[in-house]
Amino acid sequence: MGKNIVVGQSGGPTAVINSSVAGVYAQAKKLGIDKVYGMVHGIEGFLDDKICDLDDYLASPTGVEMLKRTPSAFLGSCRFKMPKIEGHEDVYEKVFEIMEKHDIDYLFYCGGNDSMDTVKMLSDYAAAHGKSQRFVGVPKTVDNDLPITDHCPGYASAAKYIATSMKEIIRDNSSFGVKKPTVVIVEIMGRNAGWLTAAAALSKTADCEGPDAIYLPEKVFDIDKFVDKVKELAKTKSSIVIAVSEGVKLADGRYVCEVGREVAVDAFGHKQMSGTAAKLADTVAAETGLKTRAIEFSTLQRAATHIASLTDINEAFEVGCAAVKAADAGQTAMMITLDRNGDEPYQCGTSAHDIHDIANVERKVPDEWITEDGSNISDAFIKYARPLIMGELTPLYVDGLPAHLVRK
Amino acid sequence: MGKNIVVGQSGGPTAVINSSVAGVYAQAKKLGIDKVYGMVHGIEGFLDDKICDLDDYLASPTGVEMLKRTPSAFLGSCRFKMPKIEGHEDVYEKVFEIMEKHDIDYLFYCGGNDSMDTVKMLSDYAAAHGKSQRFVGVPKTVDNDLPITDHCPGYASAAKYIATSMKEIIRDNSSFGVKKPTVVIVEIMGRNAGWLTAAAALSKTADCEGPDAIYLPEKVFDIDKFVDKVKELAKTKSSIVIAVSEGVKLADGRYVCEVGREVAVDAFGHKQMSGTAAKLADTVAAETGLKTRAIEFSTLQRAATHIASLTDINEAFEVGCAAVKAADAGQTAMMITLDRNGDEPYQCGTSAHDIHDIANVERKVPDEWITEDGSNISDAFIKYARPLIMGELTPLYVDGLPAHLVRK
């Protein structure tokens, strides 16, 4: 008697979220699982019984390799939060009803904090109601802010894109040998955690001096001190490039991007973070007379599969495999973690960890990795992050562009 | 008796401007030229006698290949415009004095419109004063706006970056299956000519529907019609992605980015083009209630050597070679052009053309390549541009990032 399973994707996409789906599929087929279903648009679509059969896309000899090279959520994503169980038992019963309809035994969910909460709620409901289905979370977030796991699949590819682009921006900005420098301020994602912004430091290599300053949301941001820092740098430098998190906040709790303007709020009450670099560039121009330029990596940083890290792709695949193995070994209410076993050479394995320790916990950049004045990060971060961005997977180029796998 | 030559780079950098320097160097060495000097920061640095010997960087077995993989102006660039000859003979005499000091017979200058004007002025001065030195322009501009030549080295790599990133942005934005679409507006370089913005259309491939609309600066822009277009698209689409040139202008001649705010002006009287997408995103959000996102490719589009077009790299190298051959054959006051000889298969050669027909002439996207309502471009453009973005040159990755050659 064959088993069936389902895998879903949730939250903001990453460059490697599809590699985890590929891993789930490959491992399931190895274990003789019958049907591997994909939720179309996550648990929200699943509640409407929207599923697809992954054999339709991945059974071909090129399917898995093309999926690894495809950015964004192949299955479609959602931003649906499961309601609290009490008073909403009907929603939970609906999930189990659809699982039973398709003889689905295990459910895998790729995502970040909110998605791990979905795994927790579903497994809690199953435990309380004597259901035998198993639920395992597959970590995914460019923000790298899940606890317990050494790092999160998706982070390293965004970091590689950021560091590559920073090198290119620094080269571009330093091509003019002018006396008065142009000040480039680059805004990087990460509302509360500075992992992505810190990745700008990886651009400091034998052939690049790296950014002149890096500001993470973990530290209070002071606009006057920032302008002073630029003035100080401008005394000696013919190019200034600075990385700032979109989430930097003043001492009074306001985001920098909120200063002097209204900020839109989305359906979930999250403020739309954008315009931090533009705000700071305007302020620097006004206070110093220097030419400034604001650059936002925006969604490019989470979608640039064309320069994804092979280490990240492989690890995303591995956590997908590990999730299927864990469920098949009888585990439920778990998230797969990446466990670093060595630095030189870098070695990393996987294990399964109780989802209750993970859901809704946010991990930030450790204070000791940020310099005293809050304008840079330490070598300990480089040692942590460098191995994660190693390696590349050559895209398949068609018509001169990286080709992607498309869901019909 | 060996000859010496000098090559300089000028204006905004491109992903392949260094390939042209590599071509000049390689061809010169083949012809037995003795010293190949580089101007450090273009003609401005040359007037201060700032030069380097390219043997120091390119004589090694890996030098030329690394230079091809290095973005921005390896030699340093400048934005110096030669003054008119009358009344400024001293500046011109200075150029010839420095050439004579180093026994330099040929001068090559890589750049766009302003740089070709420099070549014209120097060769005019030489002709009028019986000087024997020769001057040849090497075309380079992401804007693709030089006349006579079929296209300009630097354009295709920017186009490949734009089309690749558009595919990734479109995938990212379409991952949510929501009823109300998010509207992404992508701002692309090109103050007066829409070649780069048109390149967004190259993202339309078997696996991508391409942008929903494309607005070039060649056509008058109407904000109300733009909002109407978005409203129309929003009736049926769950993702909307639109490309706009930074240089789109209203019927009254104002740039869109100037509407409702002051725009900074640089030292050359050029308005700083930035904020067009942000302005349009704010307007659409206010008028439709839809979620919007503005993305600017900014300098990323001209510096992304990591995804440069191999066709572009090779052609940039070839125009460098051709410039040296032309000068060595006795030609001066010329710019090298790329001449398309066939489409299927694509074939392209080079020739030398009188610089007087080229300097200060700006070529725009032909009107017949833009759709009637000004919101898209035709298949004739795709046929023109697709061959140019074909092929890749794998970067040399060190520490997980593309490595570059650095001038000491």
Instruction: For an interface test with A, give the residue of B39, B44, B168, B284 to mutate (most A CBs within 10 A).
Output: B168
Residue A90 designated active-site: no
- Does residue B174 surpass a pLDDT of 60? yes
Alpha helices (runs of H) in B102-144, residue ranges in sequence order: 113-128
Nearest Cα to B315, choosing from B29, B1, B23? B23
Query: What are the φ and ψ backbone dihedral angles of B15, each rounded to 5 degrees?
Result: -75, -20
Displacement of CA A381 from its chain's centroid (Å): 17
The Cα–Cα gap between A99 and A51 comes to: 11
CB contact under 8 A, A168 and B300: yes
CB-CB contact of A348 with A339 (8 Å): yes
Instruction: For an interface test with B, give the residue of A72, A204, A262 to mutate (most B CBs within 10 A).
Output: A72
Nearest Cα to A117, choosing from A332, A331, A355? A355
Chain A residue whose CA is closest to B176: A77
Residue B203: which of A70, A390, A401 has the nearest Cβ?
A401
pLDDT at B266: 57
CB-CB contact of A319 with A212 (8 Å): no
Q: Chain A: nearest CA to B329, how far in angstroms? A: 32
> pLDDT confidence of B359, banded at 50, 70, 90?
confident
Q: Cα torsion for B393, A304, A159, A336, to the nearest 10°?
A: -120
Q: How distant, in Å, are the alpha carbons of A127, A218, A256, A328 from that of A373?
A: 49, 12, 18, 50
Angle formed by the axes of helices A276-288 and A223-234, nearest 10°: 60
CB contact under 8 A, B168 and A278: no
When pLDDT is averaged across residues B4-22 and rounded to a whole number, the result is 97
Chain A residue whose CA is closest to B393: A394
Residue B177: which of A78, A167, A275 has the nearest Cβ?
A78
Instruction: For an interface test with B, give the residue of A207, A257, A405 to mutate (most B CBs within 10 A).
Output: A207
pLDDT at A263: 66
- Percent share of chain A, pLDDT over 90: 92
Instruction: For an interface test with A, give the residue of B312, B401, B406 to mutate (most A CBs within 10 A).
Output: B401
Query: What are the φ and ψ backbone dihedral angles of A343, each rounded to 5 degrees?
Result: -105, -35
Q: Chain B: nearest CA to A194, how far in angstroms? A: 20
Residue A399: which of B278, B295, B386 has the nearest Cβ?
B386
CB contact under 8 A, B405 and A207: yes
Q: How distant, in Å, are the alpha carbons of A66, A210, A404, B180 from that of B240?
A: 25, 35, 19, 10
Q: Chain A: nearest CA to B221, how far in angstroms? A: 24
Displacement of CA A137 from its chain's centroid (Å): 15
Which chain B residues touch A398 with a CB distance below 8 Å?
A: 205-207
Which chain B residues touch A392 with a CB distance below 8 Å?
A: 397
pLDDT at B263: 66
CB-CB contact of B312 with B142 (8 Å): no
The Cα–Cα gap between A126 and A96 comes to: 9
- Does residue A268 surpass a pLDDT of 70? no
CB contact under 8 A, A401 and B163: yes
- Percent share of chain A, pLDDT over 70: 96
Query: What are the φ and ψ backbone dihedral angles of B35, each rounded to 5 degrees?
Result: -105, 130
- Residue pairs spanning A and B at CB distance below 8 A: 195
Which chain A residues touch B406 with a CB distance below 8 Å?
A: 207
* Residue A153: partners with Cβ closer than 8 Å, 6 or more residues away: A14, A16, A17, A19, A20, A138, A139, A140, A312, A315, A316, A319, A338
CB contact under 8 A, B45 and A177: yes
> pLDDT confidence of A363, banded at 50, 70, 90?
very high
Residue environment code for B307-327, b if the CB has 16+ CB neighbours within 10 A, otherwise e: bbbbbbbbbbbbbbbbbbbbb
The Cα–Cα gap between B58 and B62 comes to: 7
CB contact under 8 A, B401 and A205: yes
- The residue assigned the tokens 């498309």 is A406
pLDDT at A360: 84
The Cα–Cα gap between A384 and A346 comes to: 10
Query: What are the φ and ψ backbone dihedral angles of A329, each rounded to 5 degrees?
Result: -85, 5
Q: Chain B: nearest CA to A102, how far in angstroms? A: 22
Q: Chain B: nearest CA to A385, how far in angstroms? A: 11
pLDDT at A180: 86
Q: Cα torsion for B41, B44, B48, B54, to the nearest 10°?
A: 30
Mean pLDDT of chain A: 95
CB-CB contact of A294 with A276 (8 Å): no
- Does residue A146 surpass a pLDDT of 90? yes
Neighbours of B268 (CB within 10 A): 8
pLDDT at B102: 98
Q: Chain A: nearest CA to B399, how far in angstroms? A: 7
pLDDT at B133: 98
- Cα-Cα end-to-end distance for chain A: 30
> pLDDT confidence of A1, banded at 50, 70, 90?
low
Residue environment code for B230-241, b if the CB has 16+ CB neighbours within 10 A, otherwise e: beebbeeebbbb
Query: What are the φ and ψ backbone dihedral angles of A347, each rounded to 5 degrees?
Result: -135, 140
Residue-by-residue DSSP string for B47-110: TTT-EEETHHHHSSTTHHHHHHT--S-TT-B--PPPPPSTT-HHHHHHHHHHHHHTTEEEEEEE
Q: Dihedral of CA B312/B318/B323/B324: which sign? A: positive
When pLDDT is averaged across residues B339-356 and rounded to a whole number, the result is 96
Residue A171: which of B72, B296, B392 has the nearest Cβ?
B72
Instruction: For an interface test with A, give the residue of B288, B299, B394 to mutate (most A CBs within 10 A).
Output: B299
| Greatest pairwise CA separation for chain B in angstroms | 75
Neighbours of B228 (CB within 10 A): 12
Q: Chain A: nearest CA to B291, how far in angstroms? A: 8
The vertex-B248 CA angle with B246 and B250, nearest 5°, equals 145
When pLDDT is averaged across residues B127-134 and rounded to a whole number, the result is 97
Residue A401: which of B167, B278, B285 has the nearest Cβ?
B167
Chain A residue whose CA is closest to B39: A177
The Cα–Cα gap between B306 and A395 comes to: 13
CB contact under 8 A, B172 and A406: no
Which chain B residues touch A305 with a CB distance below 8 Å?
A: 168
DSSP state of B246: T
CB contact under 8 A, A309 and B402: no
Alpha helices (runs of H) in A199-275, residue ranges in sequence order: 223-234
The Cα–Cα gap between B164 and B186 comes to: 13
pLDDT at B267: 52
Of residues A273 and B95, more confidence is placed in B95
> pLDDT confidence of B296, banded at 50, 70, 90?
very high
Residue tagged active-site, from A105, A117, A143, A328: A143
CB contact under 8 A, B176 and A78: yes
CB contact under 8 A, A402 and B164: yes
Residue-by-residue DSSP string for B255-323: BGGGTTS---B-TTS-B----HHHHHHHHHHHHH---EEEEE-TTHHHH-GGG-BHHHHHHHHHHHHHH
Mean pLDDT of chain B: 95
When pLDDT is averaged across residues A208-212 and rounded to a whole number, the result is 98
Q: Report the DSSP beta bridge partners of residue A8.
A: A109
- Does residue B110 surpass a pLDDT of 80? yes
Q: Which residues of B are annotated as catalytic? A: 143
Chain B residue whose CA is closest to A79: B176
- Cα-Cα end-to-end distance for chain B: 30
pLDDT at B271: 65
- Does residue A293 surpass a pLDDT of 70? yes
CB contact under 8 A, B401 and A386: no
Which chain A residues touch B174 with a CB distance below 8 Å?
A: 72
Nearest Cα to B317, choosing from B81, B106, B176, B140? B140
- The residue assigned the tokens 């921005």 is B72
Residue B406: which of A13, A177, A207 has the nearest Cβ?
A207
Q: Chain A: nearest CA to B254, how far in angstroms? A: 21
DSSP state of A181: P
CB contact under 8 A, B299 and A293: yes
CB contact under 8 A, A306 and B164: yes
Do the bridges between strand B292-296 and strand B213-215 make them parallel or antiparallel, or are there none, so unpaired? unpaired
pLDDT at A271: 65
| pLDDT tens for each residue of A304-345 | 999 999 999 999 999 999 999 999 999 999 999 999 999 989
The Cα–Cα gap between A106 and A36 comes to: 10
* Residue B375: partners with Cβ closer than 8 Å, 6 or more residues away: B213, B214, B215, B229
CB-CB contact of A351 with A339 (8 Å): yes
> pLDDT confidence of B119, banded at 50, 70, 90?
very high
Residue-by-residue DSSP string for B187-244: EE--SS--HHHHGGGGG-BTTB---SEEE-TTS---HHHHHHHHHHHHTT-SEEEEEE
CB contact under 8 A, B294 and A278: no
CB-CB contact of B386 with B202 (8 Å): yes
pLDDT at A63: 97
- Does residue A372 surpass a pLDDT of 70? yes
| pLDDT tens for each residue of A15-27 | 999 999 999 999 9
| pLDDT tens for each residue of A86-96 | 999 999 999 99
Q: Report the DSSP beta bridge partners of residue A313.
A: none
Q: Chain A: nearest CA to B72, how far in angstroms? A: 5
pTM of the predicted protein model: 0.97
pLDDT at B1: 53
Chain B residue whose CA is closest to A166: B300
Q: Report the DSSP beta bridge partners of residue A255.
A: A249
CB contact under 8 A, A299 and B285: no
